Amino acid sequence: MIDDCADMRFTVDGWLAEARSFPRAEPEPTKRAEMRYPWNVPMELMDGQHVHYVHCRDISAQGAGVLCRMLLPDNARVYLRRDERDPWVRCRVAHCTPTVGSYRVGIELLFD
């Protein structure tokens, strides 16, 4: 498990660069401090010893929105990565809301 903040930040910066490269409609007004970019990619989320396959919906410099089939407790410490080529990025579950057939999970990326 990598807990190097510089490696995690570099990885997330790469994810953001990819998300920003896709054409998109004008962003809707939001109360978030950071701009969220649509980013529809499969990812892996590790909760303790379990790895869940999730689908990322959007990403910002400080967080991501994913769809997951598992209910995750609020404030749970988890790790996120795109695939085995990326280091695990330390995160916190900000919220987990039921939706049709899965859960919408708000992920806060932790770099400290």
For residues 103 and 86, what is the distance between their CA atoms, to the nearest angstrom?
A: 24
Task: Examine residue 29 and state whether it is found in any structural domain, yes or no.
Answer: no
When pLDDT is cut at 50, 70 and 90, the band that residue 23 belongs to is confident
How does pLDDT run across 45-56, given as a tens digit for each residue? 999 889 999 999
Q: What is the reported pLDDT for 106?
A: 96
Task: Examine residue 43 and state whether it is found in any structural domain, yes or no.
Answer: yes
Q: What is the reported pLDDT for 110?
A: 95
Task: Examine residue 27 and state whether it is found in any structural domain, yes or no.
Answer: no
Task: Examine residue 92 and state whether it is found in any structural domain, yes or no.
Answer: yes
Task: Examine residue 56 and state whether it is found in any structural domain, yes or no.
Answer: yes
Task: Examine residue 98 and state whether it is found in any structural domain, yes or no.
Answer: yes
Which CATH number fits the domain that encloses residue 56? 2.40.10.220
How does pLDDT run across 4-21, given as a tens digit for each residue? 788 899 999 999 999 999
User: Which strand (E) or helix (H) includes residue 79?
Assistant: strand 77-81
Exposed / middle / buried, residue 87 (Cβ in 10 Å: 0-12, 13-18, 19+): middle
- Residue 2 pLDDT > 60, yes or no? no
Contact call for residues 45 and 51 (beta carbons, < 8 A): yes
Contact call for residues 97 and 108 (beta carbons, < 8 A): no
**What is the extent of the structural domain holding 47?**
5-20+37-109
What are the phi and psi torsion angles at 90 (to 5°)?
Answer: -70, 135
Task: Examine residue 73 and state whether it is found in any structural domain, yes or no.
Answer: yes
How does pLDDT run across 57-101, given as a tens digit for each residue? 999 999 999 999 999 999 999 999 999 999 999 999 999 999 999
Task: Examine residue 90 and state whether it is found in any structural domain, yes or no.
Answer: yes
- Residue 35 pLDDT > 90, yes or no? no
Structurally, the chain folds into a number of domains equal to 1
